[in-house]
Amino acid sequence: MMQIISTVAELRLALNNKSNTGFVPTMGNLHAGHIHLVNLAKQHSDCVVVSIFVNPLQFGVNEDLANYPRTLEADCEKLKAAGCDIVFTATVREMYPQMTQTAEGTQLNQSMTIQPPDIANDLCGASRPGHFAGVATVVAKLFNIVHPQTAFFGKKDFQQLFIIRELVKQLNYPIQIIAGETVRETSGLALSSRNGYLSDAKKQQAAQLNQALQTIAQAIQAQNFEFDSLENAAKTKLNAAGWQVDYVTVRSALSLLPATPADRHLVILAAAKIGNTRLIDNIELSL
Amino acid sequence: MMQIISTVAELRLALNNKSNTGFVPTMGNLHAGHIHLVNLAKQHSDCVVVSIFVNPLQFGVNEDLANYPRTLEADCEKLKAAGCDIVFTATVREMYPQMTQTAEGTQLNQSMTIQPPDIANDLCGASRPGHFAGVATVVAKLFNIVHPQTAFFGKKDFQQLFIIRELVKQLNYPIQIIAGETVRETSGLALSSRNGYLSDAKKQQAAQLNQALQTIAQAIQAQNFEFDSLENAAKTKLNAAGWQVDYVTVRSALSLLPATPADRHLVILAAAKIGNTRLIDNIELSL
């Protein structure tokens, strides 16, 4: 019997006697990538908690907070089918009780935040200032509420996963972070809630992002370590195909810093807009 | 039987089956103010944990980190006598395992930190940049290690107490913060580890700081709400007596913002140097 809980106090009560909780934080609009994380959580935990919270703190002023797809009923059906024990569906006010409404809009008044490492200002953070501080802060809050033994994050958001691992390590959270593989369409397109913004035609085209990463991965596996020219070729091709590329870059998977030919564990990451929809993807590569 | 534990892993193990832990974080060199907090913790908890850790992250480059008094053996005697259950005496490397030693000195490499509210840059934070970020970060780490139900902080460090309360509230720590009253010498001097830097003569003189606060408190109770002139008179008198005043200020005890005559719950705070020793004190006042 899946419980749907919307307040921190009730959630704490429900988790009071649980000793092996697995936690999957989400923003809802669940797809097979999320359900894969829930399945992993089922394997590792006696009690699976999934939070559905579109966190305003991680959205920039010109981003898609207002339009972000909210599909609570369908999400709960999927979670029930997947064997989730507790869905936590907090309101913004429940998560940010100090918030105020002014003529200029909602002020969250979250003045105590997590300051992530400099890498949070690179890659997606470069074009989304404050995004990872917002992510780290809400995840820290959720960790303090749920007290999970394990928490599950998708590899599609590789930089987010990296920062959450640092959060846990550097702030001594007694939580094991388990990464879920990216789930993809047959075309290679990584599943994402933001794919819902795409027409069918655009969705077909969107697979080009993963293809660009695959091309680079194949070149590197064929001993081409000219990362700069590989990146530039991919950007040129995507831009020519109508994308607005934010970045395509080869990084060390261990540090997320620009890769050197000495690195054995790489990750190739990209972010680009197709129309108004910003998509990200990445491929890990061990040499 | 008091346990002395120096690693995070052993501490977690020792606390594994504890459900009502009271936590007193300290920097050691314990005095009656600390022991008062331990006594409070005994009343509220089945298991009392006291940490002794001189946290480098909260010291500025020109501050007294190297000279800060370290008296572990005497501290443990006092804690044993007070009925403490566990003393946690971590090394710097245990708390900051990512630290490195370079020619320029120790680098803690704590790149994931707690960013406290703006009030952390006022009062003591104005002359100690980064101090409260360092405090909040180490307290968050310790909270994540100890998982206490209650934690105890002295009112002498009023701004620190304020920021810790915000930390708990805004990051959803399920921890009750209990404040201990300031313990004083007969002269009125607030007990502080830094009093150990003072000669007997200077210690007598140091009581002037509390007297200055008392004078302001009495004036306010006599309906004098000219806070600016009360503050200025106190500063002038202390400076004339050989102090270097950092601040003397009347604040709202609820917000720590400058007090207005409408505020009913005030706190008068001061920080000043006598010789090379920086002392702080405060008095709360309800009208």
Domains of chain B: 3-180 (3.40.50.620), 193-286 (3.30.1300.10)
Q: What percent of chain A has pLDDT over 90?
A: 97
Which of A109, A112, A118, A139 is most worth mutating to test chain B (most B CB atoms within 10 A of its CB)?
A: A112
Question: B270: which strand partners?
Answer: B248, B281
Confidence bin at B237 (pLDDT 50/70/90) = very high
More confident residue, B102 or A140: A140
Q: Is the pLDDT of residue B33 over 90?
A: yes
Which of A53, A144, A167 is most worth mutating to test chain B (most B CB atoms within 10 A of its CB)?
A: A144
Q: Is the pLDDT of residue A32 over 90?
A: yes
What's the whole-number mean pLDDT along residues B116-145? 98
Cβ proximity of A52 and A75 under 8 Å: yes
Do A111 and B118 count as a contact with CB atoms less than 8 A apart? yes
**What confidence score (pLDDT) does residue B283 get?**
98
Catalytic residues of B: 34
Contacts of B167 in chain A (CB under 8 A): 112
Do B114 and A118 count as a contact with CB atoms less than 8 A apart? no
Contact with chain A for residue B111, Cβ under 8 A: yes
Contact with chain A for residue B173, Cβ under 8 A: yes
State which residue of chain B sits closest to A117, comparing Cα positions: B111
Q: Is the pLDDT of residue A103 over 90?
A: no
A113-115 and A3-5: which strand pairing? Answer: unpaired
Q: How many CB pairs under 8 A join A and B?
A: 77
Contacts of B136 in chain A (CB under 8 A): 112
**What confidence score (pLDDT) does residue A195 get?**
96
**What confidence score (pLDDT) does residue B248 get?**
98
Confidence bin at A173 (pLDDT 50/70/90) = very high
**What confidence score (pLDDT) does residue B243 get?**
98
What's the whole-number mean pLDDT along residues B2-31? 97
**What confidence score (pLDDT) does residue B31 get?**
98
Which of B112, B162, B165, B256 is most worth mutating to test chain A (most A CB atoms within 10 A of its CB)?
A: B112
The secondary structure of residue A88, as a DSSP letter, is E
- Tell me whether residue A12 is exposed, middle or buried, using C-beta atoms within 10 angstroms of its C-beta: 0 to 12, 13 to 18, 19 or more: middle
Written as six digits, the tokens of B45 are 């908890």
Given the residues A34, A36, A147, A265, the one annotated as active site = A34
Contacts of A170 in chain B (CB under 8 A): 98, 110-112, 141
Which member of A142, A144, A171 has the closest CB to residue B112? A171
Please tell me the distance from the alpha carbon of residue B33 to that of residue B169, in angstroms, as a whole number: 25
**What confidence score (pLDDT) does residue B100 get?**
97
Q: Is the pLDDT of residue A110 over 90?
A: yes
Q: Is the pLDDT of residue B129 over 90?
A: yes
Cβ proximity of B185 and B281 under 8 Å: no
Count of CA atoms in the C-beta half-sphere (13 A) of A180: 26
**What confidence score (pLDDT) does residue A105 get?**
85
Nearest to B195 by CA among B174, B210, B181, B180: B210
**What confidence score (pLDDT) does residue B15 get?**
98
Nearest to A281 by CA among A103, A155, A102, A94: A155
Chain B, 232 to 271: residues with Cβ < 8 Å from chain A are none
Q: Is the pLDDT of residue B102 over 90?
A: no
Confidence bin at A102 (pLDDT 50/70/90) = confident
Contact with chain B for residue A171, Cβ under 8 A: yes
**What confidence score (pLDDT) does residue A247 get?**
98
Q: How high is the ipTM of this complex?
A: 0.96
Mean pLDDT over each residue of chain A, to the nearest integer: 97
Q: For A232-284, what is each residue's pLDDT tens digit?
A: 999 999 999 999 999 999 999 999 999 999 999 999 999 999 999 999 999 99
Contact with chain B for residue A133, Cβ under 8 A: yes
Q: For A36-91, what is each residue's pLDDT tens digit?
A: 999 999 999 999 999 999 999 999 988 999 999 999 999 999 999 999 999 999 99
The secondary structure of residue B258, as a DSSP letter, is B
What's the whole-number mean pLDDT along residues B192-215? 96
What's the whole-number mean pLDDT along residues A197-206? 96
